[in-house]
Structure 1
Amino acid sequence: MYRFLLTPRWWGINVFAVLAIPVCIFMGSWQLSRFEDRVDSHRQQEDRSARAKTAAARPLERLLPVDQVTSGRQASARGHYDTGHQLLVPGRTLKDKHGERQGFYVLTLLRTDGGKALPVVRGWLPGDAGTKADTAKVPAPPKGEVTVTGALQASESQGSDGVPGAGGPAPGRLAMISAASLVNIVPYDVYDAWITLTDTQAPLRAVPPAAAEGSGLDLKAFQNLGYTGEWFVFAGFVVFMWFRLFRRESEAARDAALGIGVEVEAERALGADGDVGPEGSAGADGDVGATGGVGAVSREASGRTESGRDEGSGEGQDEAARAGKA
């Protein structure tokens, strides 16, 4: 009954199932491992951020380039502020006891002793960067040579948290904190990093450091978790379809062994061709049915024969009577 498994059609089905199920399981396990890596990276980043708050500051050059390990570390740099290139970064939110409030960053470039400039976010102010009443509250940066200390951050990109969409900023403003955005604004080289000060001038408020890109439980992490479920569902679907096809094929083979399908097909074939129909009814071509039609013809023929015999015997008796009289 299961000889159909050896047919070329079922060889193809079996090979596909045997290959598809391990592939789906492997891909689901890989996506799950990616999610677990992001969870571990998020925990490690939280631990590093907690240690960085109490750790001693290190020179900026020792922490570059910025990666997931050095992001959030306390860095120090020495130089003087370029008061002619102070910029405002609008559209930034800050969480406090009153919830999330909209405001802007105050960014000033620090000309270091090495010649390059370091973008320094001196703090955050609530309000609109395009309103004179709000921008008038920005304090002037310290004059002379200073040493700044703050959390080291990587340059922002278009997909970074808090960065607005497309659209060029107005003069004196900066949409994205990065060396690529500052290269056309200042006439000197800029570090591919920036720091946010821990100690700020009133009324500025300190900006907390952001987690390194790819180390948090962002949308990509939950996408990995969703893909994990999808691959395992695909594996279960392959098993379900194989079992359904196998069951249907085995039932068809069992019916054929019992002759159920043959009788039904024969009756359908006879009815479709219009030959002998069931129960003496005429077929499609008007022929005589299988039982009643043929019987009627035979009975009619036998009736005619018997009537002929009766007629013949009657004529013989009349002739015998006439001969006796003679």
Structure 2
Amino acid sequence: MYRFLLTPRWWGINVFVLLAIPFCVFMGSWQLGRFEDRVQDHRDAGEQASAAKTQAPRPLARLLPVDKGTSGKQATTTGRYGKQLLVPDRELDDERGFYVLTMLRTDDGKALPVVRGWLAGDADTTKVPAAPAGEVTVTGALQASETPGSNGVPAAGGLPAGQTGAISSASLVNLVPYEMYDAWITLAEADPGMKAVPATAPSDTGLDLKAFQNLGYTGEWFVFAGFVVFMWFRLMRREAESAQDAELGLVEETPARISA
């Protein structure tokens, strides 16, 4: 009854199934590995952020450019505060407020964006304490430039003068008259009257949409493998039943064909 499995047509079907199943399993396992890597990156980023709080600060120049290994590290540099901007619509402890972002002009002529602290409510320059005058040494967690629309960074534009939606050299280049570092720091201890802004994990190291996409793709590939097995079994049973009916004379025997 199952002699049809040895026909050339079924040899082709069987070879396809034998190749498709391990391919689907391989792709599912690969996507699962990607998800596990992102979970591990998330754990490593959390451990790095915790360890960075107790590490001695290092000169800013030694930590640049910012990458996954240096993001969150304590950096220190010296300079004089210059132009100041407000960063609206930032939450801290589930409360809406804004960052106070002040440019620190360093000895090499570049400006480093420094988040001096956070204040509750709408962005208002009258609420902001004045920046310290003269030369200052700042210490805080090094951060990579933000990307609008990710990690809670607003993507909306059209902000009033003196405000910026994202802390990045690309966003600030037209707002301040200095050459900018492609990085920023958030002070370990906020200036008086404000709350310190905690450092965030490096981008692409969290359990974000990409991580759960990998997990979803894992399920899809394993489902595909199961579907291939199911369809092979269904086709085989139909053809076996047709062959049995033909042997019993219930139907006229015709060349086997695949039916969905």
TM over 0.5: yes
State the SS of the aligned residue for 2:251.
helix
CA contact (8 A) 1:63 1:75 kept: yes
CA contact (8 A) 2:148 2:165 kept: no
Q: Find the counterpart in structure 2 of residue 59 from structure 1.
A: 59
Distance 1:186 1:262 in 2: 86
**Bigger RCO (CA 8 Å, 6+ sep):** 2
The letter of the residue matching 1:7 is T
CA contact (8 A) 2:85 2:163 kept: yes
State the SS of the aligned residue for 1:136.
helix
Aligned match for 2:244, one of 251, 254, 264 = 254
Q: Find the counterpart in structure 2 of residue 204 from structure 1.
A: 194
Structure 1 residue 178 corresponds to structure 2 residue 168: yes
Distance 1:107 1:262 in 2: 85
Shift in alpha-carbon separation, 1:110–1:167, aligned structure 2, 3 A: same
Deviation, 1:207, is 0.4
CA contact (8 A) 1:137 1:203 kept: no
Task: Name stretches of at least 5 consecutive residues in structure 1 with no aligned partner.
Answer: 266-326
Q: Find the counterpart in structure 2 of residue 23 from structure 1.
A: 23
Task: Name stretches of at least 5 consecutive residues in structure 2 with no aligned partner.
Answer: 255-260
Aligned match for 2:213, one of 206, 213, 223 = 223
Over the aligned positions, Cα root-mean-square deviation in angstroms equals 1.5
Q: Deviation per CA, 1:159-178: give whole Å up to 9, x if none.
A: 32121123232110011110
Q: Find the counterpart in structure 2 of residue 124 from structure 1.
A: 118
Deviation, 1:144, is 0.4
Q: Find the counterpart in structure 2 of residue 34 from structure 1.
A: 34
Q: Find the counterpart in structure 2 of residue 89 from structure 1.
A: 87
Distance 1:63 1:250 in 2: 70
CA contact (8 A) 1:200 1:206 kept: yes
CA contact (8 A) 2:156 2:165 kept: no
Deviation, 1:198, is 1.0
Deviation, 1:206, is 0.4
Q: Percent identity?
A: 70
Deviation, 1:114, is 1.1
State the SS of the aligned residue for 1:105.
strand
CA contact (8 A) 2:85 2:162 kept: yes
Report which of the two structures shows the higher radius of gyration computed on alpha carbons: 1
Q: Deviation per CA, 1:21-71: give whole Å up to 9, x if none.
A: 111111100110001101111111111111110110000011011111111
Deviation, 1:236, is 0.3
Q: Taking structure 1 as the reference length, what is the TM-score of the superposition?
A: 0.75
Decide which moves more: 120-129 or 180-189.
180-189
Distance 2:97 2:55 in 1: 29
Deviation, 1:185, is 1.6
Distance 2:161 2:206 in 1: 34
**Equivalenced residues, count:** 254
Q: Taking structure 2 as the reference length, what is the TM-score of the superposition?
A: 0.94
Between Structure 1 and Structure 2, the one with more helix by share is 1
